[in-house]
Every structure is written in structure tokens, then in C-alpha cells.
Amino acid sequence: MTTESILTSDQIIELIYRINQRYGYDFSGYSQSSFARRANRIIGLTRMPFKALADKLEKDEKFFTHFIDEIVVNVSAFFRDPIFYIAIKQDIIPILRTYPMIRIWHAGCSTGEEVYSTAILLKESGLLHKSLLYATDISQRALSAAKIGEYAVTELPEFEKNYLEAGGEKKPSDYFNLHNGKICFHDDLKHRMVFSHHNLVADQSFNEFNLILCRNVFIYFNSELQNRVLKLLLSSLTPFGYLGLGSKETVEYTGLAHHFENVNYKARIFRKKISLLQ
């Protein structure tokens, strides 16, 4: 990439402003360094000067969709941070078991590894049949991959390792077939999943959930945006509903910390408190 293709901070601010004006997608609360790095990469790949890129983004909605896919970070893994799943099994499953119907929201589900991991855990706990797993993301490309539920076999070694560490009771291969070098999950897992596009920054709450997983999403937001999104998650939780965050994320230091209690801090699992003075 030539030095001419590196966007200045003023250009980044202008780009974010024009995107918000045109599409109502506000990236001003995202980590500016991560946004700039990715926007610069797009400039390098498309070889478009700033003005051409900004104009095309405004005019071409399809191009904007691809731009979003490139701006966000979609890294994920099966049973990522295994202690999280151990905590879900030990601390949350016994409570969920008492409910007639379980609603779970994977907010920022990326390519779906997390939602398939939860479905496996629910199946091994005998709760999958009465669970619905909603999985949403801002990236259409990630969401399509999640919906298809086919993964490169190169993900298998980490899947097997994490599954074991998470206390998996069977074998990962009990849940998929290998086809054309891909891991293809069985339909009984998929049948309990609902995938849809949802922007945590711009869209409203769409249901009430017993458990929300929003892991490794807040790290890309500044504290003001974390507060805003946390408010949305709080309003989407049932009374005493659970919230699971990523290993480097917390509800502490937000203006809403008093609405949550720690269930398992190491695993970053919190529970919505019910107060008469909300």
C-alpha cells in the first residue's frame, strides 16, 4: 500500500459522518484505531482514492454491505474460552432447566461457532428441544456463513481441544458430518436457531431473553457506546436474565453496573437484578 492511500484522521471522521448520514450506521463509538486500520486496508484492496470510496459508499448500497463485512472483526471459535461454557453448565443450566421455554440471544454471533457451541451444550443438557437460539450480527457475510453452518476442517483441532476443556460429554464429530472437507452440522442443532441481521448500535430490542451472549463485541466500542449497547441488552433480558460477555469485557465501569450482579466473574457472567427503584 502506498503512503497516499493511508486515510488521514479527518478523512476517517468524514467517512464515519457520511456513512451515518446516509445509512444511520454510527461508527463514531468504535475503536478509531481498529476502524482506521480496516478502512485503510479497504483503500489498499480497492485502490480507490478517498473521495471515490466515500462517494461509492453513499451511492452503492451493495458496496456498503461489503464495506461493513470488511470493517468488523469476525474472529470466532468453537467453545471459545472453555471456562465460559463450564460456568454456563454449572451456574446457568440448572436454572434454565426449570423454565418451560428458553430463549437465548447471541448478539454479534459472527460466523456462528458460538451459537453451535451453545446448541451442543444445550443438547448434552437435554434442553435443546425447548430452547430457541436467536443469532444476530451486523455483517451479512458472517451471518450467511453462520446460517449455512459449514466450517473448514482446519477449525477441528481447536474445536476438539476447546470442547474437551469445556467438559464436553461426547465427541464433536457426533454433531456433524464431514462433507467435501467441511464440517457440516446436523439439522437438529440448526432447527433451534433463528438468524437475522441486527445492528446493536441502531436497532431496537426485539424480544426478551433468559440468556444473552454478547462476547468479544464490546472490546471494539468506546465506553459511551458500551453503555448504549448495554442498555439495549439490559432491556432485552427477562427479570433475572443472564448476560455473558467476553473474557476482557465487563459491566463494571459502565453506568449500568448497579443493574447487574456477578454470577461468575472469571467467566464474565452477570445477572440482571430486579430493583423496585429502577
Ligand X SMILES: C[S@@+](CC[C@H](N)C(=O)[O-])C[C@H]1O[C@@H](n2cnc3c(N)ncnc32)[C@H](O)[C@@H]1O
CA gap 114, 243 in Å, rounded: 14
Q: Is 95 left (phi over 0), alpha (psi -120 to 50) or beta?
A: alpha
Q: Is 72 in the site for ligand X (CB under 6 A)?
A: yes
Q: How far is the CB of 225 from ligand X (least distance, A)?
A: 9
The residue from 39, 78, 102, 108 that contacts ligand X (CB under 6 A) is: 108
Q: 241: closest CA among 143, 146, 107?
A: 107
The residue from 73, 148, 184, 232 that contacts ligand X (CB under 6 A) is: 73
Sheet of 102-107: strands edge to edge? Answer: 193-197, 131-137, 102-107, 209-214, 237-245, 269-272, 260-264
Q: Judged by CB, which is closer to ligand X: 192, or 198?
A: 198
Q: Is 32 in the site for ligand X (CB under 6 A)?
A: no
* Residue 113: burial class (beta carbons within 10 Å; 0-12, 13-18, 19+): buried
CA gap 174, 118 in Å, rounded: 15
Q: How far is the CB of 9 from ligand X (least distance, A)?
A: 21
The residue with cell 443438557 is: 125
Q: 152: closest CA among 193, 113, 115, 188?
A: 113
Q: Judged by CB, which is closer to ligand X: 82, or 108?
A: 108
What stretch of H or E contains 239?
A: strand 237-245
Q: Is 39 in the site for ligand X (CB under 6 A)?
A: no
Q: Is 83 in the site for ligand X (CB under 6 A)?
A: no
Contact pattern from residue 227 through residue 266 relative to ligand X, giving x for each residue in contact according to CB under 6 A and a dash for the rest: -------------------x--------------------
Q: Is 112 in the site for ligand X (CB under 6 A)?
A: no
Q: Is 85 in the site for ligand X (CB under 6 A)?
A: no
Contact pattern from residue 50 through residue 69 relative to ligand X, giving x for each residue in contact according to CB under 6 A and a dash for the rest: --------------------
Q: Judged by CB, which is closer to ligand X: 73, or 256?
A: 73
Per-residue DSSP letters for 195-209?
Answer: EEE--TTTPPP-S-E
Which residues in the 139-178 window bind ligand X by CB under 6 A?
139, 142
Please name the residues in contact with 39: beta carbons below 8 A apart, sequence gap of 6 or more: 7, 12, 15, 71
Q: Which stretch binds ligand X (CB under 6 A): 37-45, 53-61, 72-80, 162-170?
A: 72-80
Q: Is 74 in the site for ligand X (CB under 6 A)?
A: yes
Which residues in the 200-219 window bind ligand X by CB under 6 A?
200-201, 215-217
Query: Residues in the site for ligand X, rule: CB under 6 A?
Result: 72-76, 80, 108-110, 114, 137-139, 142, 198-201, 215-217, 246
